[in-house]
Each structure stands twice: as C-alpha cells, then as structure tokens.
Amino acid sequence: MTTRRKLVVGNWKMHGSHKANAELFEGLLDAGPSNADMAVCVPFPFLSEAAVALAASAIRWGAQDCSAHEQGAYTGEVSAAMLHEFGCRYVIVGHSERRAYHAESDQLVADKAKAALGKGITPIVCVGETLAQREANETEAVVKRQLSAVIHTLGHCVGEMVVAYEPVWAIGTGKTASPEQAQAVHALLRAQLQAATPQAGAMKILYGGSVKPDNAATLFAQPDIDGGLIGGASLKAADFIAIGRAAP
Ligand code: PEP
C-alpha cells in the first residue's frame, strides 16, 4: 500500500493585514515541527511577507489563484511566472468561491492548473458539489466532470497536481462531510486518476470544508484523504498547527 505523507494547506482567503500576518507567522514558527507537510496560500500582496517570514521554516507558501495566460493585457491578473518569482510552491485553482463569484469554468480552471505547472508550481485543483447537487444525487457526476477537464488538459503531467475535494455546502458553514462521505468521494476521484495516470497512487487528494482540530484526525485517518485544505481554522496559528499534528 502506498503511504502518502499528509499535506495541510491554509487558505487565508481575503484575510490578513501586516499586523495580523506578523502574529500569525510568529505563532506558526513558534509551534515547531508538524506531522504533515504544511503550507499557507495567502493573498497576493502578502506573498513577499510570507516568503521572508517562512524562508527558514519547513512551511511552504502559495497563492489562491493565477492567470491562465503567460503575460499581456490582462488587467488585474497575476501570472504563474510572477508567483514563481515569489517562491510559491502551490497555487489553489478552481476554488468554489472563484467558480461561483467569478464564473470560472472547468476549462478555465484546467488552463490555470496547466499554467501553474508550466512554471513549476503545484496547482491545488478544487472540485466539489453544491448542496442542491448532492441532494439531486449529482455529486459523482459533478466532481468527475470537474476533474475530467483537468485530466485532459494536463495530459502526461496529471500526476503532478494536488486535488482538493471541497463540498461547497461544507465550506465556511461549520458542516463537515462525515469521514465516510468524504472518503467515498475521494475514492471516486482516486479511481478516476488511476484511469489517467500510473502515478495516481502517489497523488494527494485533500479534503476541505470546515476542518477543525477536533475533526481532522478522523478525516485524515481515511485511506484516500491525504490532508486538508483549511480556510477559517488556518487563520489561528494554534488551530492550524493542531490540524497538522492530527496527521498520523
Ligand atoms: C476553504 O476555503 O477552502 C475552506 C475549506 O474553508 P473552511 O475551512 O473555512 O470551510
């Protein structure tokens, strides 16, 4: 059986300030080693702060979006090459908030993932169903459709991405998918990856949606859950560190 080291990634969303970041970084650095690989995805203006604060630590940093384009007249966009210059290890693409509020299509998300990989940045590709879709028994079809666009676009590089299953109804709501519900979807995603790449067994599939210190261990104990994408709880150093320590 493949053992995959857990990965715990914080998604700060549109939170932070110089003062709050300094405190948060200090708390993360004071905490010492974790059982998991750890990273934080911060708003663009804070990338240089993250790079300076975390340079000597094992915590990696990244962004929450990138452009599908290399460069050019795309006002407001940030390219993967720019993220690379700031030392980003990861970039989240296709978060449900971007799919919903910025009308990002499956293909655009796939193109963003490809742009990131092209600059050596690991895309964390988010997939997940809404409550209405779950209630209509569409979960499987939705996540498969979302993942399929990325698989086809990345081709032989598929094995280099990280996937995050984030049921939309569990994000920021305090409603977590049960470990069994999450595992069932992770197993589907793993099977889909297995059909696409021999590296599927080594790929990380993270769970995201109201992960907290008190539910992380049971989620991370599931065979196909390889860590978490953490929103709210990543803004408190003690909680984020505790989630990292919940990894076996
Ligand atoms: C997220 O934003 O990716 C997320 C999972 O948020 P939360 O942990 O707050 O539900």
Which CATH class, in words, describes the domain spanning 19-245? Answer: alpha beta
pTM reported for the whole predicted model = 0.97
- Report pLDDT digits (tens) over 138-185: 999 999 999 999 999 999 999 999 999 999 999 989 888 899 999 999
pLDDT at 174: 87
166 lines ligand 1 (CB under 6 A): yes
164 lines ligand 1 (CB under 6 A): no
**DSSP percent split of the chain into helix, strand, coil, nearest 5:** 50, 15, 40
231 lines ligand 1 (CB under 6 A): yes
- Report pLDDT digits (tens) over 207-244: 999 999 999 999 999 999 999 999 999 999 999 999 99
Any idea what DSSP says for residue 176?
Answer: P
Ligand 1 atom with least separation from CA of 164 = 3
Name the pLDDT band for 33 (thresholds 50, 70, 90). confident
Question: Domain boundaries in the chain?
Answer: 19-245
Q: At what angle do helices 213-220 and 179-194 cross, to 10 degrees?
A: 40
Ligand 1 atom with least separation from CA of 92 = 3
